[in-house]
Amino acid sequence: MMSSSDKTIIRTLLAPISGGAVLLTGSVVAEVIACSDLKPYKDAAAWLLGAVEWHDWNVPVISFASLSGTALDEKATVKNRILVLKSLSESSITPFLGILISGLPRLLKVSAEMLDKPKHRTDFPSVFREITIDEQQALIPDLDELTRIVDAAVSAG
Protein backbone atom coordinates (compact mmCIF):
# COMPACT_ATOMS: atom_id res chain seq x y z
CA MET A 1 0.00 0.00 0.00
CA MET A 2 1.28 3.44 -0.92
CA SER A 3 1.66 5.90 1.91
CA SER A 4 1.07 9.61 1.43
CA SER A 5 4.84 10.18 1.57
CA ASP A 6 5.30 7.88 -1.47
CA LYS A 7 3.18 10.02 -3.81
CA THR A 8 4.98 11.80 -6.60
CA ILE A 9 4.41 15.51 -6.43
CA ILE A 10 5.16 17.68 -9.45
CA ARG A 11 5.64 21.43 -9.16
CA THR A 12 3.68 23.06 -11.96
CA LEU A 13 2.46 26.40 -13.25
CA LEU A 14 -1.17 26.84 -14.27
CA ALA A 15 -1.32 29.82 -16.63
CA PRO A 16 -4.49 31.35 -18.06
CA ILE A 17 -4.83 31.52 -21.84
CA SER A 18 -7.81 32.66 -23.90
CA GLY A 19 -10.53 30.07 -23.47
CA GLY A 20 -8.73 27.99 -20.85
CA ALA A 21 -5.42 27.35 -19.16
CA VAL A 22 -2.10 25.67 -19.83
CA LEU A 23 -0.34 23.44 -17.29
CA LEU A 24 3.45 23.10 -17.40
CA THR A 25 6.06 21.65 -15.11
CA GLY A 26 8.02 24.33 -13.34
CA SER A 27 11.27 22.92 -14.73
CA VAL A 28 10.49 24.06 -18.30
CA VAL A 29 9.50 27.62 -17.38
CA ALA A 30 12.38 30.06 -17.67
CA GLU A 31 10.55 33.31 -16.86
CA VAL A 32 7.30 35.25 -17.10
CA ILE A 33 7.81 38.57 -18.90
CA ALA A 34 5.73 41.55 -19.98
CA CYS A 35 4.33 41.46 -23.48
CA SER A 36 5.92 44.26 -25.46
CA ASP A 37 7.57 44.97 -28.79
CA LEU A 38 6.79 41.76 -30.65
CA LYS A 39 8.61 41.69 -33.97
CA PRO A 40 6.27 40.05 -36.50
CA TYR A 41 7.35 37.23 -38.78
CA LYS A 42 6.69 37.76 -42.47
CA ASP A 43 3.77 35.69 -43.81
CA ALA A 44 3.46 33.79 -40.52
CA ALA A 45 0.52 31.69 -39.39
CA ALA A 46 -1.97 33.57 -37.19
CA TRP A 47 -0.84 31.64 -34.08
CA LEU A 48 2.80 32.77 -34.52
CA LEU A 49 2.50 36.25 -33.03
CA GLY A 50 6.10 37.39 -33.47
CA ALA A 51 9.38 37.33 -31.58
CA VAL A 52 10.45 39.06 -28.40
CA GLU A 53 14.03 39.78 -27.42
CA TRP A 54 14.87 38.06 -24.15
CA HIS A 55 18.42 37.73 -22.76
CA ASP A 56 19.92 38.20 -26.25
CA TRP A 57 17.61 35.56 -27.77
CA ASN A 58 14.84 36.18 -30.28
CA VAL A 59 12.10 34.06 -28.74
CA PRO A 60 9.16 33.13 -30.98
CA VAL A 61 5.87 33.91 -29.22
CA ILE A 62 2.82 31.82 -30.00
CA SER A 63 -0.85 31.89 -29.20
CA PHE A 64 -1.23 28.43 -27.72
CA ALA A 65 -4.94 29.24 -27.43
CA SER A 66 -5.18 29.59 -31.23
CA LEU A 67 -2.93 26.60 -31.90
CA SER A 68 -4.91 24.36 -29.52
CA GLY A 69 -8.36 25.50 -30.61
CA THR A 70 -9.48 27.22 -27.39
CA ALA A 71 -9.60 30.67 -29.04
CA LEU A 72 -9.51 32.01 -32.57
CA ASP A 73 -7.27 34.77 -33.90
CA GLU A 74 -5.80 35.88 -30.57
CA LYS A 75 -3.83 39.13 -30.62
CA ALA A 76 -1.14 40.19 -28.15
CA THR A 77 -1.74 43.33 -26.07
CA VAL A 78 0.20 45.06 -23.30
CA LYS A 79 -2.20 43.40 -20.81
CA ASN A 80 -0.82 39.98 -21.75
CA ARG A 81 2.31 38.32 -20.44
CA ILE A 82 4.67 35.86 -22.08
CA LEU A 83 5.62 32.57 -20.49
CA VAL A 84 9.17 31.84 -21.72
CA LEU A 85 9.78 28.08 -21.93
CA LYS A 86 12.86 25.96 -22.53
CA SER A 87 12.06 24.00 -25.68
CA LEU A 88 13.84 20.82 -24.46
CA SER A 89 15.01 20.01 -27.97
CA GLU A 90 18.35 20.22 -29.70
CA SER A 91 16.88 22.89 -31.98
CA SER A 92 19.25 25.69 -32.80
CA ILE A 93 16.33 27.67 -34.20
CA THR A 94 14.13 27.74 -31.10
CA PRO A 95 15.87 26.86 -27.84
CA PHE A 96 13.17 28.95 -26.12
CA LEU A 97 9.47 29.40 -26.88
CA GLY A 98 7.06 32.04 -25.64
CA ILE A 99 3.41 31.34 -24.90
CA LEU A 100 1.03 34.27 -24.68
CA ILE A 101 -0.87 34.18 -21.38
CA SER A 102 -3.73 36.34 -20.20
CA GLY A 103 -2.84 36.72 -16.53
CA LEU A 104 -0.44 35.62 -13.87
CA PRO A 105 0.37 31.92 -13.60
CA ARG A 106 -0.43 30.10 -10.40
CA LEU A 107 1.98 27.68 -8.73
CA LEU A 108 0.48 24.25 -8.06
CA LYS A 109 1.78 21.02 -6.64
CA VAL A 110 0.14 18.25 -8.64
CA SER A 111 -0.21 14.57 -7.85
CA ALA A 112 -1.79 11.87 -10.00
CA GLU A 113 -4.94 11.99 -7.85
CA MET A 114 -5.46 15.65 -8.78
CA LEU A 115 -5.64 14.90 -12.49
CA ASP A 116 -9.21 14.11 -13.42
CA LYS A 117 -9.96 12.07 -16.55
CA PRO A 118 -6.99 12.96 -18.76
CA LYS A 119 -7.67 12.61 -22.45
CA HIS A 120 -5.40 12.82 -25.45
CA ARG A 121 -6.30 15.56 -27.93
CA THR A 122 -5.50 14.04 -31.31
CA ASP A 123 -7.22 16.88 -33.16
CA PHE A 124 -4.49 19.29 -32.00
CA PRO A 125 -1.01 17.69 -32.16
CA SER A 126 0.51 20.43 -29.98
CA VAL A 127 -1.63 19.23 -27.05
CA PHE A 128 -0.39 16.21 -25.10
CA ARG A 129 -3.34 15.96 -22.70
CA GLU A 130 -6.44 17.83 -21.66
CA ILE A 131 -7.12 17.55 -17.94
CA THR A 132 -9.34 18.88 -15.21
CA ILE A 133 -7.50 20.26 -12.23
CA ASP A 134 -9.24 22.03 -9.37
CA GLU A 135 -12.42 21.98 -11.49
CA GLN A 136 -10.72 23.90 -14.31
CA GLN A 137 -9.94 22.59 -17.79
CA ALA A 138 -6.23 22.79 -18.62
CA LEU A 139 -4.10 21.74 -21.56
CA ILE A 140 -0.69 20.12 -21.22
CA PRO A 141 1.41 20.98 -24.30
CA ASP A 142 3.43 18.40 -26.20
CA LEU A 143 6.67 20.41 -26.08
CA ASP A 144 8.49 18.26 -28.65
CA GLU A 145 5.68 18.64 -31.19
CA LEU A 146 5.24 22.31 -30.32
CA THR A 147 8.94 22.95 -30.92
CA ARG A 148 8.78 21.10 -34.24
CA ILE A 149 5.76 23.16 -35.36
CA VAL A 150 7.35 26.45 -34.29
CA ASP A 151 10.71 25.54 -35.89
CA ALA A 152 8.94 24.87 -39.21
CA ALA A 153 6.96 28.12 -39.03
CA VAL A 154 10.00 30.24 -38.06
CA SER A 155 12.12 28.65 -40.81
CA ALA A 156 9.44 29.41 -43.39
CA GLY A 157 9.12 33.06 -42.29
pLDDT digits (tens, 9 = 90+) for 95-138: 999 999 999 999 999 887 766 566 656 677 788 888 888 788 89
Rounded Cα distance between 64 and 71, Å, is 9
Mean pLDDT within 48-63: 95
Residue whose C-alpha is closest to residue 150's, from 53, 38, 64: 64
Q: Is the pLDDT of residue 92 over 80?
A: no
Mean pLDDT within 84-95: 83
Mean pLDDT within 70-91: 86
pLDDT at position 131: 86
Q: What is the pTM of this model?
A: 0.88
Residue whose C-alpha is closest to residue 112's, from 93, 133, 85: 133
Who contacts 84 (Cβ-Cβ below 8 Å, separation ≥6)? 29, 30, 31, 32, 33, 54, 59, 96, 97, 98
> In the CATH scheme, what is the code of domain 10-156?
2.40.50.180
Better-predicted residue by pLDDT, 15 or 74: 15
pLDDT at position 54: 96
The full set of domain ranges for the chain reads 10-156
Cβ atoms of 29 and 99 within 8 Å: the answer is no
**pLDDT grade for 30, boundaries at 50, 70 and 90:** very high
